Amino acid sequence: MNALIAAFLRRPESATCRLADAVRLLAAASVIAAGLGWGWIQVAVFMLALLATLIPRALALPGALDTATGAVALVAAWSNVADLYESVPGWDKLVHGALGGLVALLSVILVQRAGALPDGHDRRECQALVGLTVVFGLATGAAWEMLEWFGHTVIDPAVHVGYDDTVADMAAGALGSLAAGTLWFRVGRGRGRLRQHSGHAQQGRQER
């Protein structure tokens, strides 16, 4: 826990890290704006988006991944306010794929940090991590669809649910997870960057 707090409080190390911090500030401002203009349901949505911007910093992730996660989470939240999911064909599936993939990847990295998963030193481990990212994507997608069902049934019938929509959303999330896992663990060698980034964060803590 102390390591997470220290990583969260570290100074930004690059331009992309500073950009990610700017996205976090925008997410915090969006929570306030939602409370003033759209009510508690939208506040809850933006709180989830804010949480998605905070986790990458606590994990000391590279600035590019940090920024991408926060930006996509904010786009997802503001798309709900702007009604883009209904007015723009395919936008819902695109956001489900992008955000679902990033959330799944963060979940796998978080479990890695807990020491419960390998770093991915060889091809077989990388393939397993990609597959696990897809599993996490399906799991988080299912949880989100249950939240949508709860919102439709208990809070507001205007929340859109339906069998075809649910299956398509989960499929989009699975594809996004496959893409995120492949890019991080196979193409981008993200596991190495993650270890290096963590080493820099630890070195910074020791120097302080």
pLDDT at 36 over 80: yes
Of residues 124 and 4, the one with the higher pLDDT is 124
pLDDT digits (tens, 9 = 90+) for 79-94: 989 999 989 999 999 9
The pLDDT value given to residue 4 = 66
Mean pLDDT of 164-191: 87
Q: How far is CA 58 from CA 15, 54, 157, in A?
A: 18, 6, 36
pLDDT digits (tens, 9 = 90+) for 117-163: 888 778 888 999 999 999 999 999 999 999 888 888 887 777 778 88
Mean pLDDT of 169-181: 96
The pLDDT value given to residue 194 = 52
The pLDDT value given to residue 11 = 84
Sign of CA dihedral 33, 34, 40, 43: negative
Q: Are 128 and 135 in contact (CB under 8 A)?
A: no
Where residue 5 falls among pLDDT bands split at 50, 70, 90? confident
The pLDDT value given to residue 114 = 84
CA 154 to CA 21: how far, in whole Å? Answer: 36
pTM: 0.84
Mean pLDDT of 37-58: 91
pLDDT at 208 over 50: no
The pLDDT value given to residue 203 = 46
The pLDDT value given to residue 161 = 80
